[in-house]
Chain A
């Protein structure tokens, strides 16, 4: 290196701004290309089973986004996805890969159902608040425990969260078939239906329940938390380099447990919304796979809470189309899962593309 140590190369304001935009564009462009590649690969899969990919994507568009009715369907599916994606994205900012949001969703749902059952006769707002608190505590404790095991005992959080999701589902089945079962629920064991006053209504004009509003708000709040507060900044340091965070004296353990618990609490709220706005009681329908789709959404959004909003809508549209695809193309409803799998793999592969394209590295243009 030369002895000349001039600071920042003087550059024109415009090129600095361009550099800024390009750095920001890198994840968006790479993710988009990866997703398109996944969709294209899935098209090949469809050709292999003798179906037309063009018809398929037309149907997906029609069923997910083509009409007011399909939008309504998509939006109500997006509500739990937003929250369950946050359960992946928040821990991810600390460098943890938590994939067991499903467990927090079902336990949140059961806790909400139980709260509704054991606290009858309260004014609606208070009853709903009680259900939300119960759900947030249940989900937060579940995923927070994953963070605590990781921090104190070095247990791999990916494996433990996944396995704990199975335990959570078994626990839910036990509770709704046993201690919390409403004797009147014959074919499908459920908790007692919650009172009408505790039901969550629809948002104006959108034709979907308030869970969507809560999800969008939660995404914005999480973005603010990560990007604009000192707690979020501390979490980013710890996620970027735990050793550096320790040398800075940051409370790494509290951050890990706090962020995992917050993610779990949000996933718990997703379960509560399913109970209070969709099913009316807690039962096995809670384990609908939202937690797993949330993983894909969070990775597609690169764990950016704001980006989760459009990605969740897109994936919700795919899921909403599965019925129509099944009927029109005579494909099994698992087809949408295959599609998600293809996209997930191309997204994971795209991680290796970062830093490879000079277009996104304006710093290196001048170095020649």
Chain B
């Protein structure tokens, strides 16, 4: 049995002092000093990879910070693990649900307690729960299995669970990303009510400026691991916040660009498809990519980019609209992709573009194993040619592997991506569709891969680049589109790109 918890009875004041977190040579969080005043609702803003998650993981004891301290109510505390954070009254609500779907809300609450007894006296627990619910300003049906609750109810229950566990400082990690706007408003209204009554201090990680201005008292912004500012929400306009988040971007063009854009190669019109949750619709009114240009699609993660990639690779059927490549209807079949010379670089290549247990040579042969040199379909494999071609491309693209017979899963991330590039960029390519090509890669690999993308553009390939990394979009694109809530909401040329404007559209505010 764990020691009894001494839960505090008031909203906590939490402060980080010079919190720093390094992963190897990479500094994810650099000397961050933030103050969360008791009984306030504090919003934490930042781009992907700005260090928000790292900060809250350090606070919750998932990471041991490299340097710096945490203070609670003015006293220095040590948080070696999440259990210690819980004992101090710190809790977290995640973007995705952590409830047991087949159990009722009441059962979920009781088993989440650290001191839950081995044999549960349900009658006594119910009485205690009812007493607890009377003190709560909102209700959740306690007898329903959680899987029958709507998303908003589940998220309310997550919140309720934290309160039931006696947490007085709560971190909410994008709590509304799976909720409808009405559900989101209700949930955040509750959090605000709890903070105003002095029962709770809350910190919310979010990308949505609307939620910040409607509900939060204070706001802090992180950029590239650095705390760039904090203050009252009322003191900032959305434009100020976007500027703080995105900062001064120095646009570095990676390689020399040559040639003018030509004919439209890819054209998508009025394409409709349901998104992952099935609740929202991806609606691409018009998207054109011309030969010899890179079109970048920027956006905050989860605004439909993944679904757009699936639409273009034929994994997500359209419910309306059409996709054309070089003026011909395109459904991403193997024959169409081959005839129209369409190639793909999906994100996380090992997961989406490779068979991990097949060899490097075999993975490189995915495009060509079923045709001969003249491009005619073949039934028998030519293993000798496959090996020879594998060798050739491994050399040409500098894939570092012990042997071309090694499983591709044994390669490093950069080398897997190089092998996939070797496969997809060899031969004539008219249209290249790319999603987050540099996730998790080191600098040398990133530079090389971006150079190859620009080289393909220079040779007349139409490139569609979907990326959550705005720097990458700015560096590579000729034309930039912004995707938000499943739509393309803004377009600009790279030359005229204003990062503040882009940032505002990414976060849903013009």
Contact = CB atoms under 8 A, between A and B. Distances in A.
Contacts of B336: 249
Interface in B280-339: 313-315, 332-338
Interface stretch (A143-151, A182-190, A238-246, A303-311): A238-246
B379 interface: yes
B358 A237 contact: yes
B462 interface: no
Interface string A5-39: 11111010000100110010000000000000000
B313 A247 contact: yes
Nearest to A7: B395
B403 A250 contact: no
A249 B335 contact: yes
A233 B365 CA distance: 10
Interface in B352-397: 352-358, 362, 365-367, 369-370, 377-381, 383, 391, 394-395
A5 B395 CA distance: 10
B356 A241 contact: yes
B337 A363 contact: no
Interface residues of A, number: 40
Contacts of B406: 363
B398 A233 contact: no
Contacts of A240: 354-358
B402 A362 contact: yes
A363 B336 CA distance: 38
A230 B382 CA distance: 9
B379 A7 contact: no
A230 B355 contact: no
A8 B398 contact: no
A246 B346 CA distance: 11
B109 interface: no
Interface string A291-318: 0000000000000000000000000000
B358 A231 contact: no
Contacts of A6: 398, 400
A196 interface: no
Contacts, number: 122
A23 B335 contact: no
Nearest to A23: B405
A136 B377 CA distance: 28
A3 B381 contact: no
Contact of A233 (B369, B391, B442): B369
A8 B379 contact: no
A364 B402 CA distance: 8
A46 interface: no
Interface in A228-275: 228-234, 236-237, 239-241, 243-251
Contact of A244 (B338, B366, B404, B414): B366
Contacts of B7: none
Contacts of A243: 315, 346, 351-352
Contacts of A233: 362, 365, 369-370, 381
B381 A230 contact: yes
Nearest to A243: B352
Contact of A363 (B333, B334, B383, B402): B402
B169 interface: no
Nearest to B399: A7
Interface string A329-358: 000000000000000000000000000000
A327 interface: no
Contacts of B400: 5-8
A228 B405 contact: no
B394 A8 contact: yes
B180 interface: no
B36 interface: no
Given A236-B358, A247-B344, A249-B337, A8 B402 contact: yes
A5 B334 CA distance: 33
Contacts of A244: 352-355, 366
Contact of B379 (A230, A237, A366): A230
Given A240-B355, A244-B354, A249 B314 contact: yes
B346 A19 contact: no
7 contacts: A1-B442, A7-B394, A7-B400, A19-B405, A250-B334, A361-B410, A363-B401
Interface of B: 313-315, 332-338, 344, 346, 351-358, 362, 365-367, 369-370, 377-381, 383, 391, 394-395, 398-406, 410, 412, 414, 442, 444-445, 448
Given A20-B405, A251-B334, A364-B410, 19 more contacts: A6-B400, A7-B399, A7-B400, A7-B401, A8-B395, A8-B400, A8-B402, A230-B377, A233-B365, A233-B381, A241-B355, A243-B315, A244-B366, A248-B334, A249-B332, A250-B334, A251-B333, A362-B402, A363-B410
